[in-house]
Amino acid sequence: MSQTDWSKADLHIHSILSDGGNTIRDILAHAATATQMDVIAITDHDRIDGAQEAQQLGARYGLDVIVGEEVTARQAHVLAYFLRERVASGMSIAETTAAIHEQGGIAVLAHPYDRVCPTPISWRHRPTSAEWRGFGLDGIEGLNGSQVDPTSNPKALALGARLGHTMTGGSDAHHKEVIGRTYTLFPGVNAADLHVALLNHKTLPAGQGWSLRDYAGWARKAFLPRVWRAVGMSAACRAAQDGHPAA
């Protein structure tokens, strides 16, 4: 099978249930009508209820949906795929991957050279080969659409190649307009085929990163609304504590 016969999957999407700007239904509708994705994974931070909802609704939109989670481990964010239950945050990378594997899931290190999110790679420390093996990861996110540093993705691709890990691509979409901008190519047509491809190192990261317009859209449609919601909730809590309704 040539790569022209492969399908596309965006394996890194956030909804309004964590720090994204769109509802599950909005995400599904956009992915179905405005992208060429065959499979998507909802990977909200430290929760899977949105992903479970998306999986239940996916067939209505002609999409195969993977229940995923971006798990906040110590020193890293780990993308967990094919989950049945939420994976707890705050564990070590090795403990996190073990918990993912216990339920038959796949563990992929998210954006390993991100300048904002925690990562086991720093200017003070580079994990040894033995440490990388000890993490128990299945893959490396070789292409992440949201990376600001232009060297981040090339270094991630080089790391994945050096370790011999499966490599994936994902938009890291926090607003629907960038869904499918960065993606994973795999042989087959559905999530089951993708699962096999991930386990057998048969995936390829592809696509491109966000544009300046996309970053502006993220700020306007995801980041600022989240700040406003947090401010509103804080005001409501203070008012409740004072015994007065919020204005």
The stretch 132-140 carries a mean pLDDT of 97
Longest dimension (CA), the chain: 67
Residue 245: per-residue pLDDT: 47
Q: Is 247 a residue whose pLDDT tops 70?
A: no
3-state secondary structure of 78: strand
Full-model pTM? 0.91
- 3-210: CATH superfamily: Metal-dependent hydrolases (3.20.20.140)
Residue 118: per-residue pLDDT: 87
228 CA to centre of own chain = 24
Q: Is 29 a residue whose pLDDT tops 50?
A: yes
Q: Is 217 a residue whose pLDDT tops 80?
A: yes
Cβ contact 110:103 at 8 Å:
no
Residue 233: per-residue pLDDT: 45
151 pLDDT band, cuts 50/70/90, is very high
In angstroms, the CA 178 to CA 158 distance is 25
Q: Is 181 a residue whose pLDDT tops 70?
A: yes
> 3-state secondary structure string, 174-223?
CCHHHCCCEEEEECCCCHHHHHHHHHCCCCEEEECCCCHHHHHHHHHHHH
44-70 pLDDT tens trace: 999 999 999 999 999 999 999 999 999
Q: Give the domain ranges of the chain.
A: 3-210, 211-247
Q: Is 241 a residue whose pLDDT tops 70?
A: no
